[in-house]
Structure 1
Amino acid sequence: MSVEKDIIKIQQKLQNMSDENADQTQALDLLKALKDLPITLDILTKTRVGMTVNSFRKSCKDEEVITFSKALIKNWKKLLSGDKTAAQEPKKEKKERKKSEEKEQKIDSKKDTPKPVVFPTPSTTDAVRLKCRELLVSALRTEDENSGCASVEELADELEDAIFLEFKNTDARYKNRVRSRYSNLKDAKNPQLRNNFIVGAITAAQLAKMTSEEMASDEMKTLRNKLIKETIDDAQLATVQGTTTDLLKCGKCKKRNCTYNQIQTRSADEPMTTFVMCNECGNRWKFC
């Protein structure tokens, strides 16, 4: 009922502005107010506001007001001609919004549904491999055990899998590789290696192929590098005591007048490093 009252008030003001000498400055504001009202076909028929606006349009001289009036009347004619598009729009929007809400609820319910816990089955039944996994678990499990993204059992399985993948069998090379991982992970003087593996800084694939030098603690690496440097310096300075040979060819001057020394710079089971100096041009190089 309030909508009809508002329309009647606007109609009266527009009728008063229809005179030639009347002030029509507020006409556009009144028409805009009409446009914003929820006018239905029933209200349009009762108030006959369309006729009022059309009559005012004919007497108005403002082009903007005339254009706005025509557009307003055109929209109302859609209701009169049975075009229910404007009236049905809110229902359509409500229906679409309801579908959207139902879709979102389904997505949320899927997110909230807990996934079933799946316990992994052992990847091998080989007795040797299972024994090696137990050995690696004992190396990873200590009193000051840190929590990582996986349990020590899972980490041990991954490490053993990576080692087995390289050798494809459980021969002596496989067992030696497992033992070396066990010794380094168990080493109380090198907790950093174990912690890095548990927290994921070192992957199982990386640890499976690391050399003894790479697995060593930072302190041991520093000491080893220092000893190697001192050995190399001593070898290069002691060229006078080296062995002269013509079997080696200088890559720089192509002469075969060289002096060489052999030094053990790596572990005992690795070959010695040979340091060579050309007696002609002074070029130095080394090879294993």
Structure 2
Amino acid sequence: MMGKEEEIARIARRLDKMVTKKSAEGAMDLLRELKAMPVTLHLLQSTRVGMSVNALRKQSSDEEVIALAKSLIKSWKKLLDASDAKARERRRGGPPPTSSEGSEAKDASRKRPELPRMLSAPRMTTFPPVPVTCDAVRNKCREMLTAALQTDNDHVAISADCERLSAQIEEYILCAGL
């Protein structure tokens, strides 16, 4: 019995062959197999099956194939969005304060006098590493976007992570055709 990752990778390879041969014969069966499988974000990223499904969707003229491919991509995109939301929550420092903690914080802030805020040198914020792709074209696009974002020093003034921003821009451009 094959593991999930091998099975999904096998389906992705078969979908890629269909795209190459411009034949969608048997695509519905493969897409239904994918729909029935519990797919994690890790499996999506390691097998790149989303790219294969999207390529098939773009090439196919069969409305059923297109609809099922779109449905799969949307459900997988929700996994990615949920993962991004969790990452943002971790960066913020955990869940929002409970009602009792929030009221204590408000009371404490009322007791302290308001101090004038001084403008200090901007601090550079550290971000988690940018997700790496195995696609040379995508990496080159990210590299060019990063270079374009760094042409002036505005990114330093606002503590922007140009590599992360370029990865997000590239990802959006790649997925915008959905």
- Say whether the fold is shared (TM-score over 0.5): no
Q: TM-score, normalised by structure 2?
A: 0.43
Larger Rg: 1
Is the helix fraction higher in 1 or 2? 2
Q: TM-score, normalised by structure 1?
A: 0.27
Using CA pairs under 8 Å that are at least 6 residues apart, name the structure with larger relative contact order, 1 or 2: 2
Is the strand fraction higher in 1 or 2? 1
